[in-house]
Amino acid sequence: MTALRKVLVANRGEIATRVIRACREEGLATVAVYSEADREALHVLMADEAYLIGPPPPAESYLSIETLVGVAKSAGADAVHPGYGFLAENAAFAEACAAAGLVFIGPPAAAIRTMGDKTAARRIARDMRVPMVPGTVEPVRGDDEARRVAREVGYPVMIKAAMGGGGKGMRLVRADAELDAALRMARSEATTAFGDGSVYLERYVEEPRHIEVQVLADAHGRVVHLGERECSIQRRHQKLIEESPSPCVDDALRRTLGEAACRVAKAAGYVNAGTVEFLVDREGNVYFLEMNTRLQVEHPVTEMVTGIDLVRAQLRIAAGAPLDVRQDDVTWRGWAIECRINAEDPFAGWLPSPGTITGLRPAAGPWVRDDSGAYEGCTIPRFYDTLIAKLIVWGPDRDTAIARMARALDEYKVTGVRTTIPVLARIIAHEDFRAGRLSTQLLERILPELAPAGGRFESIAVIAAVLAEYDRLRRPGATTYAAGTRPDGTPAAVPGHDTPAAPAPSAWRLGLRPGWRAGPRQ
């Protein structure tokens, strides 16, 4: 046991606030870090101390391993929580923390590295006799081998980047004739995105459901699973709504999936919280997909049905404590649903809608949870993920949870930026969602009717240009250009798109933490 005292939270937004809350409940001091775009962000206000780590582009701030480790050491932190995204699944970061004598609140670097290679993960699943999609367990060497395997497993097949995951760099191939070109494209995309052109093949599963199992593993060899989350409501690999349990998983399947997930975690030498992903086809066959070596965005739905605080568990596991639950102690009660509220305009091509939140009234009331990184007057910067908050509800059964989510979405008011709330409400009201007829294709099918581009459509060319501008702004050096800057240090509005910046009430005057003081500026 290494008793932790002070945790540096290497993240921003709602997940940073989630981790700070758990630390405070555990009696741990917290250190926030922030970029120039986040000077008045909620996580900065909530932490005991906060340190500026650089300009807005992530590569120069939240992704800078050297800066983060340096700040953790100089602030006297003894542990680092990476949250999700940014450096959460970066083995080099976990190693740099360990080398500096900091406890990384996540899995061992070796487990991150193993699972980062999706073919290595498939070899583990094969060795553990966990069912998986037919395909290769090594990267394919040449085009001839690829053709042979594709014919063997049968078309359609998917080409996936070995170092990819989360849907990036996948390519669907329906016939021999398309294979060579698809391989070339996939390899080149993988090289650009992951610095490694290795690809592997899998048979394509049509209209699958996306189900994932939460696991917790301690440093003493004990592994438990906390059941599944249904994550089929996605758009372009971004989940919009998640729930637990899944309407298509019964007790027997839960046990099968849970035991499979635990075997994979054990074989990988996994420690801390992790998630094992599966696909479920129309016939109910399940296939291992990959393992995510981090706390996930949608972890709250698991917390709500199991009563287990996953971030608290992460902190305790990192300190070397044995798990305080055995598998038989884990029970599931009721139903939980999460909706992701993003600053995006679903009626204008889902363009990011950064800016100042001029009015905010989150939903509240019984069995409603608001995991948020926002407050009235705060600014949603254009440099990061557009997630404003996660709205989570619990009910004794799925119908009650759905009615509660509909009520809560109706109650949730945000002005100043466009949000995904209206389209979330329409999905929740849709008969296929209510009937539990979920698949990864459902959203693509019903969105044209739920979120017509009509009213605010700005033409495809404008949308493409604005998206390219956001892309550019997120790259290193982007903030040193000549355009006018806002008082918060962020560049002026994207022409023709942004809502004009309204003067924000100063966050410093909100008095969220009377004792708050900024740490030394770097």
Residues in the chain, total:
522
Measure the CA–CA gap between 152 and 155, rounded to whole angstroms.
9
Cis peptide before 366 (omega within 30 of 0): no
Closer Cβ to ligand MV4, 39 or 229, answer by number: 229
Q: Are 28 and 48 in contact (CB under 8 A)?
A: no
According to the binding rule CB under 6 A, does residue 487 interact with ligand MV4?
Answer: no
Q: List, in sequence order, every residue forming a beta bridge with 50; answer none if it has no partner.
A: 32
| Eight-state DSSP code of residue 319 | T
Nearest distance, CB of residue 406 and ligand MV4, angstroms? 24
Q: Read off φ and ψ for residue 54, nearest 5 degrees.
A: 145, -175
> Which one among 234, 293, 342, 420 touches ligand MV4, defined by CB under 6 A?
234
Nearest distance, CB of residue 479 and ligand MV4, angstroms? 32
Q: Read off φ and ψ for residue 438, nearest 5 degrees.
A: -105, 145
According to the binding rule CB under 6 A, does residue 154 interact with ligand MV4?
Answer: no
Closer Cβ to ligand MV4, 236 or 509, answer by number: 236
According to the binding rule CB under 6 A, does residue 442 interact with ligand MV4?
Answer: no
Measure the CA–CA gap between 425 and 154, rounded to whole angstroms.
40
According to the binding rule CB under 6 A, does residue 158 interact with ligand MV4?
Answer: yes
Q: Are 435 and 19 in contact (CB under 8 A)?
A: no
Kindly state the tokens that stand for 98. 């360990």
Nearest distance, CB of residue 50 and ligand MV4, angstroms? 34
Per-residue x/- marks for ligand MV4, 114-133, CB under 6 A? -------------------x
> Which one among 167, 396, 477, 520 touches ligand MV4, defined by CB under 6 A?
167
> Which one among 208, 377, 381, 491 touches ligand MV4, defined by CB under 6 A?
208
- Of the ranges 61-69, 107-115, 165-173, 512-520, which one interacts with ligand MV4 (CB under 6 A)? 165-173
Question: Residue 33 CA to chain centroid, in angstroms?
Answer: 19
Q: List, in sequence order, every residue forming a beta bridge with 230; answer none if it has no partner.
A: 211, 243
- Of the ranges 201-209, 411-419, 493-501, 512-520, which one interacts with ligand MV4 (CB under 6 A)? 201-209
Nearest distance, CB of residue 129 and ligand MV4, angstroms? 19
Q: How many helices (H) and strands (E) does the chain have?
A: 16, 22
Q: Are 300 and 22 in contact (CB under 8 A)?
A: no
Nearest distance, CB of residue 238 and ligand MV4, angstroms? 10
Nearest distance, CB of residue 149 and ligand MV4, angstroms? 13
The verdict on whether 294 is a catalytic residue reads yes
User: Which one is catalytic: 254, 294, 404, 418?
Assistant: 294
Angle of CA points 14, 275, 57, to nearest 5°: 40
Residue whose C-alpha is closest to residue 164's, from 205, 192, 135: 192
According to the binding rule CB under 6 A, does residue 277 interact with ligand MV4?
Answer: yes
Measure the CA–CA gap between 249 and 92, rounded to whole angstroms.
37
Site for ligand MV4 in 44-63 (CB under 6 A): none
Closer Cβ to ligand MV4, 15 or 161, answer by number: 161
> Which one among 34, 86, 204, 412 touches ligand MV4, defined by CB under 6 A?
204
Catalytic residue numbers read 294
The residues of the shown chain that bind ligand MV4, judged by CB under 6 A, are 133, 158, 165-167, 202-205, 208, 210, 234, 237, 277, 279, 289-290, 440
